[in-house]
Structure 1
Amino acid sequence: MNHININAHILSYQCTHNSSFFSSSTNQLPEPTIIKIHTKLPVKALHDSSWFRSTKTKISGNPGPPRSALFSLAYQESQYSLSGCSDWPWSWEPALSWKRAPSSRDKSPGNGTQDQTDTDRRVATARPAAAPEPPKVRHPPNILLLSSMGRSGSSFLGGLLNSQPGSFYIFEPLHSLEARRMLSDAVARETFTQIASCNFTGSLLSGLASEPDFAIRTPSAYSCKHTKKANQTCFDAKKLKQACDKLPIKIIKTIRTRVAWLEPLLRDPRANLLAIHLVRDPRASIISAIERDWNVRPERKCSELEDDLLSGLQLEKLLPGRYMTVRYEDLCEDPYKMARIIFSFLGYKTLPLSTLSFLEKSTAKSDGQTYGIRRDTSKQQQKWRQEITTEQLQGIEEACASAIAAVGFNLFADIGRARNLSVPLYDPAKASVFFPYYGGR
């Protein structure tokens, strides 16, 4: 086991309303590693086989009450780096050191533990085994659209992606599996691979059969038209397979998957997947979920959002060109521009005519449906600011302050500032950390 003692130094980049961003790095170290902040502020993050893990923890300082912080350990080009956001105001002097604890290989039969100096030096400079090169994407690629929490606009973006000619669209295939307590990272990956390869068997087939109108969004996959009679079922496993085999682009939309689960899936040539991670201001998502009487735990959902964003940074480094993060508010602000950015990521030089038609029909007026794809995008952006209550604002911002900042938005602290639309919502400098189309990554 290895130990790193780190005193990080604060940079000028502001991470949240009263927060700072810090970063420090060292030469490569063998895994596993425990990170400890070398002040009276202990923080632990275990380093896994993909060379990355993050942790959000409560830390206590003097002066002041317990503070929250978000840290990540990343490996790139023979260096480890520790970075994160924290809301204490003072600076630290940079200081970095590490030592390796003795292992059984270091003991000799006669005199116990050998001198570690040379061993430590060799271990510290040894390069870990390189990850295998990912298979090249075959065009057109299949698409996994995921959101860290519900009510983030994934139904709308899913409809936009489904406007591509030749699309086969499955909506929330993990819904029934989660209800039956069968969901895990391995189950999710296998389910997505099955869809991408049109292998409708087992729990995937039974789940789709249990809620076909909810999950199957491709008309040619049904045995009858949507003008069916009451209580008439149109699900047909043979038709489903035929439609999937015929249509080259498989689109999967889910809010029940973590970004940390994706690396093996994106490396799997059977899936031939690109991943788009859609995020939204947590205040807007949570308010929308509350309006629909969903059981939402803001602190848990925002912690998952932060974990997903940090996992996404590492995934982009490991598999460039296979993963993209998109902010819903940017899609609302300029849907045509964002559609061009997203479709360029998918390999298009221009938007298909069917996609332009979708945008024209779908961005002028909302249809008001829970999973609807038509919405007045110009009004969706900050609608929640006029609907949130004082109690909701205080509770969500307290639970989600660092997540709100990570997505690139300002905190309001009081209802008057939230209602006042002249007070800016956006902080472009923050957004550049996670959203590549802003540049300055």
Structure 2
Amino acid sequence: MQCSWKSVVLLALASIAIQYTAIRTFSAKPFSSLCSFGPNPNTDLATSGPAVNCGLGALGGLGQETLEGLDRGCDEVLSSSSSSSFSLPSYNASRRTHILILATTRSGSSFVGQLFNQHPEVFYLFEPLYHVQSALLPRLAQSRNPAERRVMLGAARDLLRSLYHCHLNSLESYIRPHPTNHSTDKLFRRGASRSLCSPPVCEAPLGPGEQSLVLGDEGECVRRCGPLNVSLAADACREKRHAAIKTVRIPQVSDLRALVEDPRLNLKVVQLVRDPRGILASRIETFRDTYRLWRLWRATGRRPHNLDLGQINTVCEDFLSSVSTGLARPAWLRGRYMLLRYEDLARSPLQKTRDLYGFLGLVLDHSVEDWIVNNTRGSSDLSARQKFTTVRDSAANAENWRLKLSFDMVVYTQTVCQPLLELLGYKIVSHPGELRNLSYSLVEDRTFLPFL
């Protein structure tokens, strides 16, 4: 049978239409469901994590696994998606919002965490990545070795993804000793989370005169609640409308790109920054053994030759890189990033908290407002005696580092951190008298608007 050229053209067009329909159907599948996970015989799982297989061979099991089982190991896939034609779906404001407070130690992150911990509809976790660090890098508070950082970050991202989905059993792999029957008394700072110290997770009997279980401090939670049942904690997580996690163990916002671009997470990042001179002064007072040589420098006026200058250099390098990324407003951070200066929050806690909740699309509960009023008017003496308290005179605390550092220490810090200081609006001190004159603020009036 012979076909005319018109018939051939019609057949070709029909074939193209069929292929196009097939491709559209294929691409409409959830992106992560195209991936299967398993050990890679050519890599070491201890350092590289689970392998990702997004080849055509993975299509055989398409539709047989749920998204819930595919949370781990897709960092490489999701981070590379931005450079391809794959586009993320639009987000629904009514969806569950996941919040990550990105900070460094002694920058005010515990205070910011409480702004979410006090909200009745937020499930809050305080530093769950502590356990990842303790298991993988027990020798180091924060490794500066690139290879060790990659190991830590890969595990941290996987765990964060699981925790936001309320798969809290994933945390058990890093807790030492390993929980028995999903029960542990070793969760780091459990008492910092109201959700983990309240029914149904904690069923401690009410004391005399108590109408409800409201525990006054972290130690009381641990004493009265007993070991944590991780399964009950996971149930409590699922009951909340939102989830917030505070961490000082992710160096830069770019390390979170895979999570930010994950369409299942609806993740928003609040990057908390503070004047590095204030961070240094607070660390010297709090971590006395680690910063012993810094205290020696302050006491004698002579810088020890074996002083670890990297303790502050790394802070400024990470901050500068991370903030520069955020303020450059890359497309993948649109609607996902807000920069918050600790000093601004300390000066105007209620207004800045309203701004923060507005960016996140959350309703500011009166319980949060009440907590702010009650916890930002404490005495400076109290904050000096209790290093980890969130009760303090926040406005007075913002720049009191100027009374705790020697002029030489300030000069060194602002020299190595000058690009960061300029970027964030912190003024340079030029002489000792200016340093001690607290009536002259070293914080410029700057407005850092969320990237919407």
Is 1:376 aligned to residue 386 of structure 2? no
- Aligned-pair CA distance for 1:131: 5.8
Q: Give the TM-score, by structure 1 length.
A: 0.63
- Alignment partners' CA distance in 1, 2:124 and 2:358: 20
Question: For residue 102 of structure 1, what is the aligned residue in structure 2?
Answer: none
Q: Which residue of 1 aligns with 2:158?
A: 190
Q: 2: distance between equivalents of 1:269 and 1:229?
A: 36
Q: Which runs of 5+ in 1 are unaligned?
A: 1-127
Per the alignment, residue 143 of structure 1 pairs with: 99
Partner of 1:351: 364
The one-letter code of the counterpart of 1:335 is P
Q: Give the number of the structure whose alpha-carbon radius of gyration is greater.
A: 2
Q: Deviations over 1:350-374 (max 9, x none)?
A: 6321111111211111553333222
1:128-156 Cα deviation digits (max 9, x unpaired)? 74562355155341211111x21111100
Provide the residue aligned with 1:259 in structure 2.
Answer: 253
The answer to whether structure 1 residue 246 and structure 2 residue 261 are counterparts is: no
Q: Indicate the structure with greater helix content.
A: 2
Q: Distance in 2 between matches of 1:311 and 1:327?
A: 16
- 178-187 or 168-177: bigger deviation: 178-187
Distance in 2 separating the partners of 1:215 and 1:417: 42
- Map 1:61-76; keep pairs closer than 5 Å: none
Please state which structure has a larger fraction of its residues in strand.
1
**1:297 match: secondary structure:** helix
Aligned-residue CA RMSD (Å)? 2.8
> Structure 2, unaligned stretches of length 5 or more?
1-82, 138-150, 177-183, 205-214, 292-309
Q: Choose which of 382, 385, 399 in structure 1 pairs with 2:402.
A: 385
Q: Encode CA deviations 1:147-196: one digit per residue, 9 max, x unaligned.
A: 1x211111001101222221211111111211222653222221111111
Q: Match of 2:189, SS?
A: helix
Distance 1:347 1:228, change over 3 A: closer
* 1:237 correspondence with 2:261: no
Offset of residue 269 of structure 1? 3.0
Match of 2:136 in 1: 181
CA deviation vs aligned residue, 1:310-348 (integer Å, no higher than 9, x gap): 121345533311111111100011111101110100114
Task: Answer with 337-346 or 419-428: which moved more.
Answer: 419-428
Pairing partner for 1:159 from 100, 111, 114: 114
Where do residues 108-123 of structure 1 align in structure 2 (5 Å cutoff)?
none
So what's the TM-score if we normalise by structure 2? 0.62
Find the partner of 2:266 among 272, 282, 304: 272
How far is the alpha carbon of 1:394 from its aligned partner?
2.1
1:15-414 → structure 2 map (5 Å cutoff): 129-130=84-85, 132-133=87-88, 135-137=90-92, 138-147=94-103, 149-181=104-136, 184-204=152-172, 206-207=174-175, 209=184, 211-212=186-187, 214-215=189-190, 217=193, 218=195, 219-220=197-198, 222-225=201-204, 227=220, 233-257=226-250, 258-292=252-286, 293=288, 294-295=290-291, 297-314=311-328, 317-348=331-362, 351-365=364-378, 367-368=382-383, 369-414=386-431
Q: Name the CA distance, whole Å, in 2 between partners of 1:344 and 1:228.
A: 31
Q: How many residues get paired?
A: 307
Distance 2:116 2:355 in 1: 12
Judge conservation of contact 1:192–1:271 (CA < 8 Å) in 2: no
2:429 counterpart of 1:417: no
Cα drift, residue 389 of structure 1: 1.3
Aligned-partner residue type, residue 365 of structure 2: P
